[in-house]
Amino acid sequence: MSPFVPSDPSERRSDTAAGATPEPDPVDPDRLAALDHELSVAIARRRKADDKGPPDGGRSEGLGAGMRIAVEMAAAIGIGVAIGVLLDRWLGTTPWLLLLFFVIGFAAAILNVYRTAQELDRKAKARKARERADETGSDTR
Amino acid sequence: MATSPLDQFEVTPILPIQVGGLDLSYTNSALFMTLAVAGTVALLTFGVRRRSLVPTRLQSVAEMLYEVVANMVRDNVGSGGRQYFPFIFSLFMFILFGNLLGMIPGGFTFTSHIIVTFTLAFFIFVAVTIIGFWKHGLGYFGMFFPHGAPAWTAIILVPIEVVSYLSRPVSLSVRLFANMTVGHLMLKVIGGFILPMGLIGGLLPLGGLVAITALEFLIAVIQAYVFTILTCIYLNDALHMH
């Protein structure tokens, strides 16, 4: 990891407030400062890389969204057909309720797809807003 | 060597147990579920044993997992979801470990069985419905009828909403099951091409196999995340009706 040389405890004792306030987790402040510096450098480097555009432009995310919508659609149609078949078998009305519930299932499928798309859209907007806030805000995350 | 790409999904008893005609054998599926739970407990216990300000790698992993789920619950459910965090975190870890343990060569992916994912999804569905009725009483039936629509449209809209609501556990379980099964099938099938195609021709499927293996790791994590986030969304619907 970091090319950091840990200092011995006696050296730390002479440091400013280390002895005065009881710290729950005694960590060398010099080390923290060094890590802080390294972190800010890394964040700056990441920022610069991000500005050039995403390396893998959300490709896997699009794949996930597509899969999600497809499954959402199939599930609603499947449930509609299942309800139709079961009711038909129970009431002996083959095939009318199957036909009816297939149509209802299809409508539910469209509803599911619409809701999923809405939610994905909302999430994408929220992410964009957060990124914009990140850029204008301070560099502490 | 396995002869069929489907062999990897076979459930085989390790410790046969018969109780009054019921087959309660300890199977390879059960073994990997045990491993998933043990792995989760071990990771979190050893990860936070020495809590330091500058975390070790294991502590980083434990904290990261906690933060991912905590943020997910906060963003999708709000402060009302705090009390459900333990369940959602356990669910996430169980599925994540199940998916990742399946990536070990020779391992068994219990999330590639529809009965496992459907049991999880069905339990969530029932629990969320109970929470909904518990919080809103009979007002929870309002879930099935959008606000402001003319009353006569209920005859069309209510069945559609009911089917949409019932499709939740199906889509939740099928998504995880299909992703895991298809991924592992693909690995086996493409892996089966390598030897028959010879030294030169086999390089192509070998390269593909490496790429798909990487993709499968991604999918294993993403699907655990998606399953959990949808649970949060359903929980949010039950707590604050849309």
Query: The pTM is what?
Result: 0.80
Are residues A37 and A70 located together in one domain of the fold?
no
The neighbour count for residue A102, using CB atoms within 10 Å, is 17
Determine, for residues A25 and B166 on separate chains, whether the beta-carbon distance falls below 8 Å: no
Reply yes or no: is the peptide bond before residue A95 cis, omega within 30 of 0: yes
Show the low-confidence residues of chain B (pLDDT under 50): 1-2
The neighbour count for residue A27, using CB atoms within 10 Å, is 14
Q: What pLDDT is attached to residue B122?
A: 96
A18 within some domain: no
- On chain B, the residues whose CB falls within 8 A of the CB of A72 are 167, 171
Are residues A125 and A83 located together in one domain of the fold?
yes
Are residues A68 and A106 located together in one domain of the fold?
yes
Number of domains in chain B: 1
Q: What pLDDT is attached to residue A61?
A: 67
Are residues A65 and A126 located together in one domain of the fold?
yes
Are residues A63 and A126 located together in one domain of the fold?
yes
DSSP 3-state assignment of B14?
strand
Are residues A106 and A84 located together in one domain of the fold?
yes
Q: What pLDDT is attached to residue A129?
A: 86
Determine, for residues B167 and A32 on separate chains, whether the beta-carbon distance falls below 8 Å: no
Sign for the CA dihedral angle at B225, A75, B98, B205 comes to negative
Residue A55 has pLDDT above 60, yes or no: no
By Cβ distance, the residue of B52, B159, B167 closest to A25 is B52
Q: What pLDDT is attached to residue A59?
A: 59
A8 within some domain: no
Are residues A51 and A64 located together in one domain of the fold?
no
pLDDT single digits (tens) A91-108: 998 889 999 999 999 999
Q: What pLDDT is attached to residue A140?
A: 47
Are residues A74 and A106 located together in one domain of the fold?
yes
pLDDT band of A4, cuts 50, 70, 90: very low
Q: What pLDDT is attached to residue B3?
A: 66
Determine, for residues B54 and A74 on separate chains, whether the beta-carbon distance falls below 8 Å: no
Number of domains in chain A: 2
What is the residue whose two structure tokens read 């005859």? B155
A15 within some domain: no
Q: Are B170 and B228 in contact (CB under 8 A)?
A: no
Span A85-89, average pLDDT: 94
pLDDT band of A65, cuts 50, 70, 90: confident
Residue A23 has pLDDT above 70, yes or no: no
By Cβ distance, the residue of A75, A101, A112 closest to B174 is A75
Determine, for residues B218 and A60 on separate chains, whether the beta-carbon distance falls below 8 Å: yes
Are residues A96 and A111 located together in one domain of the fold?
yes
By Cβ distance, the residue of A32, A64, A79 closest to B167 is A79
Q: What pLDDT is attached to residue A126?
A: 83
Q: What pLDDT is attached to residue B37?
A: 96
Are residues A65 and A102 located together in one domain of the fold?
yes
Q: What pLDDT is attached to residue A58?
A: 54
Closest listed residue to residue B233, CA positions, set B220, B221, B242? B242
Parent domain of A68: 59-136
Q: Which of A38, A55, A72 is the C-terminal boundary of a domain?
A: A55
pLDDT single digits (tens) B51-108: 777 788 888 999 999 999 999 999 889 888 899 999 999 999 999 999 999 999 888 9
Question: Which of B76, B144, B160, B222 to mutate to test binding with chain A, by most A CBs within 10 Å of its CB?
Answer: B160
Chain B's closest residue to A63, CA to CA, is B219
- On chain B, the residues whose CB falls within 8 A of the CB of A119 are 233
Interchain CB contact of B241 with A (< 8 Å)? no
Are residues A48 and A63 located together in one domain of the fold?
no
